[in-house]
């Protein structure tokens, strides 16, 4: 079977995927459909595969060296975000999480307050604590169109003495791409209160049609002199296990600061990760473009299927990435519907509560793992990022044409294997 297709998902059967040994496929028993951790079931992009096989064949498996990475990233950043990056401001870090933490260690005193926004990527709080800083939560605001930054809440936290702000944009789990105007307000506040902004932009290469991602450090550097963007090829090209990310300084002073990171931070990156990232940034954009077409289709297909089969579930399609943040409160399954879906439907979703107490009643579904037929999910939407989404709008009793809660929960009943959302068993 050729692995150089134009549909990045069109390669592996479910049986083949079950032979994988990564977290996604190794965590649950074989009767569970894993749709939790943010890994995709894609075949590797051909340029990445070539680079990795060539390295293995020449026995090139020593320590990582950043040669070529900064220039490749700068090329990608310019083509994707119209962002001019000075390669001198790009530093290799082992992964995005370690990159964020090391920047916090470098730029804030021990014990200082670091602001995050629940719903938050679950490792944020434990990582901040592990590095000896305190988490200050400014929860996102829920609006009919999705989730927004609480700019007033951020100002209060900054004024109260926070030293840093860990911004996640595009946002996991909501898939929100924050507006430039909001980011500019954040930058202005950060300057006023002398707060370091560390922007996790791991999902940025997966920005979907209709949305525009603004790299935080691409904002005017006079406005945001103490900012760092941390980003990688890991999510977009599915190479998280290879360990490579970059931290990009937003100013000359921050570049000088990052230059003082311990050399060991760089050494802990994966050599194969660096080679894969260079191949991705340099030659992987056509593959990524195909992937985004597929993910755009998936987010619309999910909208259609939920509307038809689970209208009580609230869903605002993501503006970036492949994670769907689903409000299951209307199903009457309590604060932790993921437990019910796992027990009854044998589908593993991420638990909403892991993203914060405001995640009660939610689940996160990974849409980067399913087959979607060409033309599927073509419903027209009114708004650029895939439509205004649907708010939960019915009680469990009258919510769905499906016969009862157990049927609703069978594999989340996104098609009960009969619909277009089902796996292609080959």
Ligand X SMILES: Cc1ncc(COP(=O)(O)O)c(C=O)c1O
| Binding positions for ligand X, rule: CB under 6 A | 38, 95-97, 121, 168, 172, 200, 202-203, 232, 234, 240, 245
CB of 352 vs ligand X, minimal distance in Å: 15
- Residue 229's beta-bridge partner residues? 199, 248
Nearer to ligand X, 243 or 385 (CB): 243
Minimum CB separation from ligand X for residue 168, in Å?
Answer: 5
Provide the minimum distance between the beta carbon of 270 and ligand X in the complex, in angstroms, as a whole number: 11
The nearer residue to ligand X, 95 or 290, going by C-beta atoms, is 95
Residue whose CB is less far from ligand X, 23 or 145:
23
Nearer to ligand X, 269 or 313 (CB): 269
Least distance from ligand X to the Cβ atom of residue 268, Å: 12
CB of 67 to ligand X, least distance (A): 21
Cβ-based neighbour number of residue 95 at 10 Å? 22
Question: How many Å apart are CA 404 and CA 399, to the nearest integer?
Answer: 10
State in angstroms the smallest separation of the CB of 404 from ligand X.
34
Nearer to ligand X, 167 or 310 (CB): 167
Q: DSSP readout, 34-86?
A: E--SS---PPPPHHHHHHHHHHHHTT--S----TTHHHHHHHHHHHHH-----
Burial (CB count <10 Å: 0-12, 13-18, 19+), residue 75: middle
Please name the residue that has the structure tokens 């119209």: 82
- 331 touches 313 (CB < 8 A): yes
Q: Are 160 and 141 in contact (CB under 8 A)?
A: no
Choice between 38 and 328, CB closer to ligand X: 38
Angstrom distance (rounded) from CA 78 to CA 329 = 42
Closest CA to 350 of 42, 18, 38, 44: 38
């Amino acid at each position: 079977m050729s692995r150089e297709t134009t549909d990045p998902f069109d390669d592996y059967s479910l049986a083949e995927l079950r032979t994988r040994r990564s977290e996604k496929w190794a965590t649950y028993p074989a009767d569970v459909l894993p749709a939790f951790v943010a890994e995709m079931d894609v075949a590797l992009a051909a340029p990445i595969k070539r680079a990795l096989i060539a390295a293995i064949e020449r026995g090139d498996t020593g320590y990582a060296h950043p040669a070529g990475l900064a220039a490749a990233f700068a090329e990608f950043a310019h083509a994707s975000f119209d962002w001019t990056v000075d390669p001198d401001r790009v530093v290799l870090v082992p992964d995005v999480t370690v990159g964020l933490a090391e920047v916090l260690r470098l730029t804030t005193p021990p014990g200082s307050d670091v602001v995050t926004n629940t719903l938050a990527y679950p490792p944020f709080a434990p990582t901040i604590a592990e590095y000896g800083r305190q988490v200050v939560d400014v929860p996102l605001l829920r609006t009919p169109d999705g989730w927004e930054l609480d700019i007033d809440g951020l100002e209060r936290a900054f004024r109260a003495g926070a030293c840093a702000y860990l911004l996640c944009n595009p946002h996991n789990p909501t898939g929100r791409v924050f507006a430039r105007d909001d980011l500019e307000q954040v930058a202005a506040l950060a300057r006023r209160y002398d707060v370091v902004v560390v922007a996790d932009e791991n999902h940025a290469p997966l920005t979907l049609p209709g949305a525009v991602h603004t790299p935080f450090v691409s904002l005017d550097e006079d406005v945001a002199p103490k900012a760092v963007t941390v980003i990688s090829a890991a999510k977009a090209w599915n190479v998280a296990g290879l360990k490579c990310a970059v931290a990009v300084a937003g100013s000359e002073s921050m570049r000088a600061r990052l230059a003082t990171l311990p050399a060991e931070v760089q050494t802990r990156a994966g050599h194969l990760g660096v080679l894969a990232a260079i191949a991705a940034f340099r030659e992987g954009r056509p593959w990524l473009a195909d992937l985004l077409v597929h993910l755009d289709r998936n987010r619309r297909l999910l909208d259609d299927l939920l509307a038809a089969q689970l209208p009580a579930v609230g869903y605002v399609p993501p503006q970036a990435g492949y994670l769907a943040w689903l409000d299951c409160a209307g199903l009457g399954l309590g604060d932790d519907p993921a437990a019910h879906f796992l027990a009854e439907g044998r589908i593993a979703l991420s638990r909403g509560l892991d993203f914060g107490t405001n995640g009660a009643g939610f689940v996160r579904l990974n849409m980067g793992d399913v087959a979607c037929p060409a033309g599927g999910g073509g419903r027209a939407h009114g708004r650029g990022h895939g439509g205004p989404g649907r708010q939960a709008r019915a009680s469990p009793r009258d919510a769905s044409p499906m016969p009862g809660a157990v049927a609703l929960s069978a594999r989340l009943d996104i098609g009960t294997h009969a619909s277009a959302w089902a796996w292609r068993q080959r």
